[in-house]
Structure 1
Amino acid sequence: MTEHPPAPEARPAPMRPQDFWQAVEPAEAAAPAPWTDRFPARLPDGRVLHLPIRPLAGTGNAIASLILNQASFAVEAALADALAERLAPFRPDIVAGLPTLGLPLARAVAERLGHARYAPFGTSRKFWYDEGLSVPLSSITSPDATRRLYLDPRLLPLVEGARVALVDDVISSGTSISAGLGLLARIGVTPVAVGCAMLQTERWRPGLAEAFAGPPEAVVGAFRSPLLARDGEGWREA
């Protein structure tokens, strides 16, 4: 009897760029590594959100990315549900959101936690703002060192002495979330938790460990995405 080698595993067809972040799929939709154009990020309930894989120029590595304001409303809702569930045990009094893409997520999370409002930080200085309630702000996608992060003085009573959950869309290098922590520190507040939709790789850990006085388990995400390494024509976890 002639033995035949097993047929190569069928790989999913490439996704069109506009189709990423549009659906949360069942757990079985995740293909095993090596991955070609998409990384299957696992939500806490096991479902999958496919993220585009973006090679890092000049390296043998890549990352999976999330652009929250390009996501479908259903995906936004699923991520807010997951993050609210992970923040609920910390019993925050107020959710503070970081610009830009952290603001709609923070608002949705606050609503799911039963709050009537949230505290948005901003980068646009109004004439009544106090420079003492601001810090420099940069991020991996917006490295402009001239930007500043502000808290409207009228919102100060919401966060002073409160149990604050600080929310952003993605924690990648940790610079944006560290700016938010620095601004809260100016008013004597250490958040009870830090949350985001995606914890991207592990690069953020050293900087955040310096900026955040809370325990490591108080930094939570709806899902994680690892650093990826080249594997033939595809990618796998580094």
Structure 2
Amino acid sequence: MTLAPHDFWQQIFALGSYATGPGTVHSHHYPATLPDGRQILLPIRVLPGDGTQAVASLIVNQASFVVHDALVEGMAALWADAKADVVIGVPTLGLTLATSLARRFGHARMVALGTSRKFWYDEALSEPLKSITTPGGGKDIYLDPRMLPLLQGRRVLLVDDVVSSGSSLAAVLRLLDKAGIAPVGVAVAMEQGTKWRQAVPGPERVKGVFATPILRAVDGGFVSDAA
């Protein structure tokens, strides 16, 4: 089955609809498995370099509402016992998830970090930012000083869409540390590979709704070496 680019992230498939696991060759898409066994199809994107590695890609703001809601339901189930007072959203794609999760927890609002420099921001509350999808970096992430009273002394849950290399999440955690904020956890929709565990302090605090492996090129497509 080959999907058009706009068809990815639009539906949820029944348990066992697509094969996964070591040795399974994936040509165009990778079936990610939700906690209840249902699956969503993610496009495979070849990483920069020699073309021997690829990842399954999730673009949350292009997902259908049913997929978005399933991801938020998974996050809510993972973090219900954390009793978070405030949800912080990481731009850009973590913001929509953070908004929905905060509403599900019954919060009146969420707090958004930003990558657009406002004149009232304090450079002391910023960090350089880069990720696997923007390896050149060039952006900074900011915490609006006006948000500090909402966060200090509260149980804070950080929300992002994907953790992959861990570099952007590590930068966000450094930023929050400057403000004296230690999140009770980090909720993500997808854990991509395991490299991020070496870059992120306290990786046990991170929980994803599902995980996808780094894929290796073979004849006819890509395979996962992960068990």
TM-score where L is the length of structure 1 = 0.87
1:123 counterpart residue number: 115
How big is the shift at 1:86? 0.9
Q: How far is the alpha carbon of 1:154 from its aligned partner?
A: 1.4
- Tell whether 2:28 aligns with 1:43: no
Query: Is residue 156 from structure 1 mapped to residue 148 from structure 2 by the alignment?
Result: yes
How much does 1:139 deviate? Answer: 1.8
CA distance in 2, matches of 1:165, 1:38: 31
Asked whether the equivalents of residues 170 and 199 of structure 2 are also in contact (C-alpha less than 8 Å), the reply is yes
CA distance in 2, matches of 1:142, 1:60: 19
Kept after mapping to 2: 8 A contact 1:166/1:180: no
Number of equivalent positions: 221
List aligned pairs for 1:198-237, cutoff 5 A.
198-208=190-200, 212=201, 214=202, 216-237=203-224
- For residue 67 of structure 2, what is the aligned residue in structure 1? 75
- Residue 230 of structure 1, CA deviation: 2.9
Higher relative contact order (CA 8 A, sep 6+): 2
2:99 aligns with: 107
**Preserved CA contact (<8 Å) 1:84 1:110:** no
Runs of 4+ in 1 over 3 A off after TM superposition: 143-146
Give the equivalent residue in structure 1 for 2:6: 18
1:109-188 to 2 correspondences below 5 Å = 109-188=101-180
Contact 1:93 1:164 in 2 (8 A): yes
Aligned mates of 2:116, 2:55 — CA distance in 1: 30
Instruction: Give 1:8's aligned residue.
Output: none
Which whole-Å CA distance do the structure 2 matches of 1:34 and 1:144 have between them? 31
Larger deviation, residues 224-233 vs 142-151: 142-151
Bigger Cα Rg = 1
C-alpha distance in 2, partners of 1:82/1:27?
16
Query: 1:166-189, CA deviations, whole angstroms, 9 ceiling, x for partnerless residues?
Result: 111111111111111011101112
The residue type equivalent to 1:226 in the other structure is P
Give the Cα separation in 1 of the matches to 2:188 and 2:164: 10
1:146: how far off? 3.8
Partner in structure 2 of residue 7 of structure 1: none
Q: Which moved more, 1:25-34 or 1:99-108?
A: 25-34
- 1:231 Cα offset (Å): 3.8
Query: Does structure 1 residue 27 correspond to structure 2 residue 15?
Result: yes
| Aligned residue in 2 for 1:194 | 186
Which region of structure 1 is more displaced relative to structure 2, 60-69 or 134-143? 134-143
Deviation at 1:15, TM superposition (A): 1.5
The answer on whether the counterparts of 1:137 and 1:179 sit within 8 Å (CA) in structure 2 is yes
> Aligned-pair RMSD on alpha carbons?
1.6
Q: Please report how far the alpha carbon of residue 145 of structure 1 lies from its aligned counterpart in structure 2 after TM superposition.
A: 4.2
Q: Secondary structure at the match of 2:16?
A: helix
| Deviation at residue 144 of structure 1 after TM alignment | 4.7
